[in-house]
Every structure is written in structure tokens, then in C-alpha cells.
Amino acid sequence: MKTIMEIRKKYEREEFLKLSPLGRIRVMHAIMSEIIAIRAKGEGVSEYEIYRRYLKDNPRHYQKVSN
């Protein structure tokens, strides 16, 4: 028997996959922005500082593409 959380997870996954690619990007951006805001408030620093740390820890997200 599935738990309520498992059912909800499946529902959310299906709804997310129904979105267009642009819709998915918008949803993920909104989620990331919320996480950054929560962390910034919790640590007492600016959202910019949290985002800079994220980029520093995940360099693949801002590497330049060579031609």
C-alpha cells in the first residue's frame, strides 16, 4: 500500500512532466530562488552572497563555452 507522501510525489512528478520545457525552467527557477531566499534569511546574508557561493561550489553552471 502506498503512503500519502508516495502518492503525492507521483502526482507532482506527473504534473511537472506535463509542463512545457519553458514551464519546467520557470518552476525550477522559482524553487531555487525560494531556497536561496530562505538560506540567506537564515544565515543573515544577502541572497547574492548565497548565489555566489552556489556558483563557486558548482562551477559547471557558469563555465564559458569555447568556440
- pTM of this prediction exceeds 0.85: no
DSSP class per residue in 6-67: HHHHHHHHHHHHHS-HHHHHHHHHHHHHHHHHHHHHHHTS-HHHHHHHHHHH-GGGTPPPP-
Note the pLDDT tens digit of each residue in 10-34: 999 999 999 999 999 999 999 999 9
Reported confidence tier of residue 62, pLDDT bands at 50, 70, 90: low
